[in-house]
Amino acid sequence: MCTSEFVQAHNGRDYGRQVLVDHGLFLTTSFLKEKGESSGYGGDWAVRLDANNERSGLSDAEESTTHLFFYIADETGNPITMGSYEPSSRGSVLLASGLHEEIGGWELYLRSEDNLEIHRAGFKSMSMHNLSDLVQQAVATNAMQSGNLNLPDITEDSSNIMVYQVSIKSPAQIDIVFLSGSASKSPVIEERISKLTGPMLSDRLETKQKEFEERYDQIFNVNNKVDSKELSVGRAALSSLLGGVGYFYGQSKIALPKGFTQKNGDKYISYWPAALYTAVPSRSFFPRGFLWDEGFHQRWDVHISMDIIGHWLDLLNSDGWIPREQILGAEALSKVPEEFVLQYPSNGNPPTLFLAIRDLASGIHAQQFSDEEAEKISSFLERAYIRLNAWFQWFNSTQSGKYEGTFYWHGRDNITTKELNPKTLTSGLDDYPRASHPNDEERHVDLRCWMLLATNCICSIAEFLKMDSALEKDYYKMSNQLSDFGTLNKLHLDDTIGAYFDYGNHTEKVRMRWFDVKDNNNMRREFLRGTLQAPQLQLVPHVGYVSLFPFMMGTIPPESWVLEKQLNLISNTSILWTDYGLRSLSRTSSIYMKRNTEHDPPYWRGAIWINMNYMVLSALHHYAHKDGPYSGRAKELYDKLRSNLIRNIVQNYDATGFFWENYDQKDKGKGKGARSFTGWTSLIVLIMAESYPTLHR
């Protein structure tokens, strides 16, 4: 069996539980956090490790030893004092202690009733992301010198990293306790350790698990909507998302204008040192904040949501721009290809935070929150308003098109010959086909829809806060302009098939092929784009997710013939419909499943993505409950699509133990891309709960 990770519970605050499965070893890790009167800043926490082997029935002679490694480090460089490393069955053993300016004195303890062997090593280093290399090197060196494959029980002077190797024979149970504000030994210390280890910890973990399940049922109310297996997968999806919420600190790298460099040769300047509290799409593959992903990550705890949104809005610069990827700190940087590190101040990202902010505002109107929560949300919206306005104005001034009321994603490469269709990373839909030859005549229908969402959201906040200045009047005017159905159709609708398209300088006659290129009297072969027909200004005829944005945002009147056409596109198996969800690009598209470069496989050119399927479900649910000739058809498609998505994600999770970045629309809905992708794929919880964003004023 390959290594799998099953996060069973996480409440985002003080409790979590996961199971790691690795070649027959089942390692369950649970954590509990609390802050008592004697605790320092941040409180105390405990981690319980339960190790079981599926071959635990073997005799002692046949049992294999399992080696578990864990570490504690002080990132500020403060030295850590090594404690004892002799395990004791009579109580807890002090492993390490130290002093930190924010939490005071701290101590780390281990307690276990089982026979353990403990080894350790101490390092002085500020490069936490290279810790695995340090450990492997220490183990290898010790093996060559002593013949023992373990840590050497040696610490460097002033070590700020302590690594422990605990060797066990399963089944075994280990409790590890961290105490903050523990300056000296006292009866209170023993009491705090006792509460976080042994039988008392067992009882408290069980209580926390029940509280988590009860809160999940209360918020999502899915018990009568899904079966027991689907219920457990939904809990795992939410828990994985919350378990991926983290705190980052560092400086983004901001690209200088083309042709500019610093004296040292750098083509970037550093953003100010900043903190970011955020969820991440994948802890193992994408351990950093993504602006447009984050709008899909909210809905569990309004206080956590406001904290996260506030951190993102605090990254706004004086122009109202937010870097779309937050690569803060050496560890996050180590996981990012160099081409994606620099952030460009001219480039945006879908303002999906407005989805979450709109839900906060509409939730108050619908009296979904307690009086205390409503008051805190009101205060948050009032403080956030000025930043939201600045963010919106940045979009309105920098991403506008050539004509009033039109918008396009800036930042596309208009001179490249190495891409079949120049990428639009800023849209979030990466290689989704746009106009073949980018220029300032482009009009992107998805960005127009995001701008409508943003104006509607700001209008809702203004109504709630009873604002009535000239600025708010401008927002109302713009909202009315962007929601005008006739203008939308004039700019983006193909009347023949009833689909919405981008507009730009485009030709379908482009191909990638090998060319012989002469370079300094040497010939080499390059895989380049050839344009076989001159482009012209036209609608870009590629049906896919972008075509559905006016539908997804609910801008089509429920009685319009265009709505029927949209439902036909969605349900057509030759275009978007599969038994596993809607594919991102129609099978009839000339770029369907085509590589963009020699080494760049298709990404948003056919695969099934859960965030866009969620938005389509939201629209289907909306139209199914609106009076009109197509409500019945919308309801039928809604039920089928929802069922297909739930079934496929649950089956993939059951078979692999993972949630996936996207899903294959050909190979029986098989998970693709990054695994342990628990960002917007966790929207399956909201799909189960039939909980969708509010898109209208």
Closest CA to 294 of 362, 355, 377, 247: 355
CA distance 93 to 248: 32
CB atoms within 10 A of CB 390: 17
CA distance 535 to 532: 9
| 385 φψ region: left (φ > 0), alpha (ψ -120 to 50), beta (else) | alpha
CA distance 228 to 224: 10
Closest CA to 192 of 116, 114, 106: 106
Among residues 50, 63, 430, 600, the one annotated as catalytic is: 430
Residue 684 structure tokens: 């399956």
What per-residue string of b and e applies to 99-111 under the rule 16 or more CB within 10 Å gives b? ebeebeebbbbbb
Cα 370 to Cα 123, 331, 387, 638: the distances in Å are 49, 40, 26, 32
CB distance 525 to 590 below 8 Å: no
CA distance 125 to 117: 26
CB atoms within 10 A of CB 314: 13
* 430 carries an active-site annotation: yes
- In three-state secondary structure terms, 93 is strand
Closest CA to 381 of 314, 304, 298, 464: 464
CA distance 549 to 493: 12
What is the CA angle 584-433-545, rounded to 5?
A: 30
Strand ranges in 87-192 using DSSP code E only, listed in sequence order: 93-100, 104-111, 117-123, 154-155, 161-168, 172-180
Backbone angles phi, psi at 45, to 5 degrees: -150, 160
Cα 387 to Cα 282, 308, 349: the distances in Å are 28, 14, 16
For residue 631, count CB atoms less than 10 angstroms from its CB and return exposed for 0-12, middle for 13-18, buried for 19 or more.
middle
CB distance 231 to 684 below 8 Å: no
CA distance 138 to 299: 44
What per-residue string of b and e applies to 475-489 under the rule 16 or more CB within 10 Å gives b? bbebbeebbeeeebb
Backbone angles phi, psi at 110, to 5 degrees: -130, 140
* 217 carries an active-site annotation: no
Sign of CA dihedral 91, 95, 98, 104: negative
> Is beta strand 493-494 parallel, antiparallel or unpaired with respect to 536-539?
unpaired
CB distance 401 to 407 below 8 Å: yes
| Contacts for 607 with CB less than 8 Å, ≥ 6 apart | 583, 584, 662, 663, 664, 665, 672, 673
CB distance 314 to 226 below 8 Å: no
Among residues 294, 431, 661, 664, the one annotated as catalytic is: 661
Q: Which residues are part of the catalytic machinery?
A: 430, 661
